[in-house]
Amino acid sequence: MNKAELIDKMAASADISKAAAARALDSMLEAVTDSLKQSEQVVLVGFGTFAVKERAARTGRNPQTGAPIEISAARIPSFKAGKALKDALN
C-alpha cells in the first residue's frame, strides 16, 4: 500500500474527503517526525512505538575495492510493534 492508497482507505473509513484525509496523514507524519527529531518517543498504545536509536561509528568495506572506510555514527528511527498489532497479524 502506498501513501495515495492509504489516504483513499482513510477517507472511506472515516467518511471524510480525500483532501481532509491527506491533511490528517501529513499532520500525523509531521508530528511523529518532529518528536523523533527531539529524541522523544511516540507511543501509540496497541499499535507500536516510534523511537530514535543511536548507531555507533564503525569500519566498513568499499565493495568495489575492499578498502576499509569509516562509517560515521548516526541517529536512526526505529519502530517496535505493539501487542495488539502483533496479535492482529497472527
- Which residue has cell 502483533? 86
Q: Which domain holds residue 56?
A: 41-90
> What b/e string do you get for 20-48 counting C-beta neighbours within 10 Å, with b at 16 or more?
ebbeeeeeeeeeeeeebeeeeebeeeeeb
Structural domains in the chain (count): 2
Q: Are residues 88 and 63 in the same domain?
A: yes
Q: Are residues 57 and 28 in the same domain?
A: no
Q: Are residues 20 and 56 in the same domain?
A: no
Tell me the whole-structure pTM to 2 decimals: 0.80
Tell me the pLDDT tens digit for each residue of 30-77.
999 999 999 999 999 999 999 999 999 999 999 999 999 999 999 999
Q: Are residues 33 and 73 in the same domain?
A: no
Q: Are residues 77 and 45 in the same domain?
A: yes
Q: Are residues 21 and 50 in the same domain?
A: no
Q: What is the CATH number of the domain that holds 63?
A: 4.10.520.10
Tell me the pLDDT tens digit for each residue of 74-89.
999 999 999 999 999 9
Q: Are residues 52 and 86 in the same domain?
A: yes
Q: How confident is the model at residue 17 (pLDDT cuts 50, 70, 90)?
A: very high
